[in-house]
Amino acid sequence: MKPIEIEKVQEKLRSFENKAVYVHLETTNGAYASHVNEKAYNVGAYIRNAKVTFRKAKIVGNGSSYRVGLKTALGWIYAEGLSDWVINEEEQFLLAGHDREGRLMVALEISETPFK
């Protein structure tokens, strides 16, 4: 993965607009939290292969942390805290945010084919 380049990421996001695509969205502090601080709450969200069509996609951020929003017919999907991106060998668009120790905190993935 490489650091987000806002213009390139925005261009790729637009390429998915008005198409039926598969979305993977995951957030976690899971095991990272409770083993460090026993009073910490483990939280997370996970959705994989949700088939959606979004009308508009937008990335905003300050150079180190970004938010991506996908506007659907009925509302929004968004991920915050993103820092890195890549297009993998299956042409799937992957965005992720990591903590200071490099552990995954958030992932947003978009593909025209289902994720394995």
Asked if pLDDT for residue 49 goes beyond 90, the answer is yes
% residues pLDDT > 90 (the chain)? 75
Instruction: Measure CA 30 to chain center.
Output: 17
Asked if pLDDT for residue 52 goes beyond 70, the answer is yes
Q: pLDDT of 17-41, one tens digit each?
A: 999 999 999 998 765 565 556 666 7
SS3 state at 16: coil
What is the pLDDT, as a whole number, of residue 27?
A: 92
% residues pLDDT > 70 (the chain)? 90
**Is there a domain that residue 43 lies in?**
yes
- Distances in Å between the alpha carbon of 99 and those of 47, 53, 55, 77, 81? 21, 30, 31, 22, 9
**Is there a domain that residue 40 lies in?**
yes
**Number of folded domains that form the chain:** 1
**Is there a domain that residue 41 lies in?**
yes
Tell me the CATH number at 67: 2.70.180.10
- Distances in Å between the alpha carbon of 83 and those of 4, 9, 73, 106? 6, 11, 27, 9
Instruction: Concatenate the DSSP letters of all residues of 32-93 into one string.
Output: HHHTT-TTPPP-EEEEEEEEEEEEEEEEEESSS-EEEEEEESS-EEEEEEE-EEEE-TT--E
**Is there a domain that residue 116 lies in?**
no
Domain interval for residue 105? 2-111
